Structure formats: C-alpha cells, structure tokens
Amino acid sequence: MGTKIEAVLFDLDGTLLDTAQDLARALNRLLVRKGKTELPVDDIRKVVSNGGNAMVSLGFGTRIGDPEHKTLYFDLLDIYGQDIASYTGPFEGIKDVLSHLEALNLPWGVVTNKPRAYSDPLLKAIDLQPGCAALVCPDDVKNKKPHPEPMHLACQILGCNPAHTIYVGDHRRDIEAGRNAGMTTVAARYGYIDDQDDVDSWQADYNIDHAEQLIPLLNQLLQD
C-alpha cells in the first residue's frame, strides 16, 4: 500500500518560479542609482532565497540595523514591484509536475516568506495551470518559516493533513519548516543555493536535482 498523499506545497522563489533575473535587475538598478557597479546575476542568484535584506547586504555591504539598510531595502522592493515578472517563469519541469498533480487529483499550494504584495501578482502574472489552490505569505501569519504556522495554515486552506503533505523548497529554512509541520520534505537542489550550503545537512526526506524528478518520486511514494 502506498503513502497517502493529499497535497503538494512549494516554496516560491527558487523552487516553483525562477525569479532571480527580475530580482537581480532590481538590485542592479538600485546599485546604479546609488552610483555603484552592477553585480553579476549569478552572484545575486545565490542569495535570492535569503530575501531582500540579504540582497541589499550583498550589494551595499550593509546589515539589518544599519541606518541606511532599511531605506535601501524599501527602495529595492519599490523597484522590484514596478516590474515583477518580465523574466520570471516556472523552473523547467514545473508545468509537467503540475499537470501530473492534476492527473492525480492532488491540489498544490505555495508557502513563502515573500510578502503577498509581490507573491500574489507574481502568480497571477505567470498564470500556472492548474492554479495555486493555497498561497500563504508572511502577512497571513504571526510566525513565518521555519515556524510550522504557515505550513499548517496552507493545509487548513487545502483541507489536507500535514502528515500527508509534501513540501518542496530550496533553503534549509524550508526543510526545517516542513519537518516542524510533520510533512514529507523535498530539497530542490536546482534552486538558489549558496556555494557554502551543504544540502545533505538539511536532512530532507528526499533531494532532487530537477523539478521533473518530482513526478517519479510522487509515483514511487504512492506505490510504496
């Protein structure tokens, strides 16, 4: 008898959608505005999953608490929000995964630390089919990932049991959140992973190097 699976949840940036180029463009626009040199997209890509604060720190050498850091952070968000999806799209294989979930009659959702003001219009701009059945952002909860609260809220929205839910993410925080919620966790090695990160140390239940590998993994779990 196979594992009971009721839903699949994804992290957004670096797992479901490849947003790095649009985010990198926003940071580089801010750097130029401030008289600084643009950074290579590949360098920015590695820190995207750590959020806007990490991007500002990379570009300007500031840290949270520095007088100018907060201003730069909001400047970055303002620039990004004006052009959120020119180069963003689903990672290769994601559309096939979503079609497979539809064939299995399994809903999918997103749990992200990206604010709703950016997550919601981004998903609408990309218009994945079948559509996202649950979007949980930090605005919706008191505690964001790695706390299990947003994971549990997504399950409430979908009407699924966390123990029968898969969570896929490209950051240690994602795997910790899934584990804290009692979910089956999948580490997306194809995402925005820093060179110094040891994905094996995250102790995810499964690791994948390509989004399409979720399809045979799902089939395996359903049959085991």
Please tell me whether residues 171 and 76 are part of one structural domain: no
Is this prediction's pTM over 0.85?
yes
> CB–CB of 187/207 below 8 Å?
yes
Please tell me whether residues 115 and 175 are part of one structural domain: yes
Q: Which of 57, 82, 107 is the last residue of a domain?
A: 82
Q: Predicted confidence band at 2 (pLDDT cuts at 50, 70, 90)?
A: low
Q: Which of 58, 82, 106 is the last residue of a domain?
A: 82
Is residue 224 predicted with pLDDT exceeding 90?
Answer: no
Number of domains in the chain: 2
Is residue 7 predicted with pLDDT exceeding 80?
Answer: yes
**For residue 1, is it within any domain?**
no
What is the per-residue pLDDT across 168-196, written as a single tens digit (0 to 9) for each?
999 999 999 999 999 999 999 999 998 88
CATH of the domain at 161: 3.40.50.1000
Q: Which of 13, 18, 22, 174 is catalytic?
A: 13
Q: Determine the pLDDT at residue 80.
A: 96
What is the per-residue pLDDT across 104-137, written as a single tens digit (0 to 9) for each?
999 999 999 999 999 999 999 998 999 999 999 9
Please tell me whether residues 134 and 27 are part of one structural domain: no
Please tell me whether residues 25 and 55 are part of one structural domain: yes
Q: Which of 82, 109, 124 is the last residue of a domain?
A: 82
- Give the pairing of strands 17-18 and 134-136: unpaired
Taking Cα atoms as reference points, which of 7, 23, 193, 202 lies closest to residue 110?
A: 7
Please tell me whether residues 24 and 123 are part of one structural domain: no
What residues contact residue 203 under an 8 Å CB cut-off, 6+ apart?
Answer: 175, 179
Mean pLDDT computed over 45-54: 90
**For residue 2, is it within any domain?**
no
CA distance 182 to 127: 30
**For residue 186, is it within any domain?**
yes
Please tell me whether residues 102 and 203 are part of one structural domain: yes
Range of the domain at 204: 7-18+89-223
Please tell me whether residues 141 and 193 are part of one structural domain: yes
11 catalytic residue (yes or no): yes
Q: Predicted confidence band at 49 (pLDDT cuts at 50, 70, 90)?
A: confident
What is the per-residue pLDDT across 53-104, written as a single tens digit (0 to 9) for each?
999 999 999 999 998 999 999 999 999 999 999 999 999 999 999 999 999 9
Q: Which of 11, 22, 170, 174 is catalytic?
A: 11
Q: Predicted confidence band at 156 (pLDDT cuts at 50, 70, 90)?
A: very high
Is residue 1 predicted with pLDDT exceeding 80?
Answer: no
**For residue 119, is it within any domain?**
yes
* Both structure tokens of 167: 């969570």
13 catalytic residue (yes or no): yes
**For residue 142, is it within any domain?**
yes
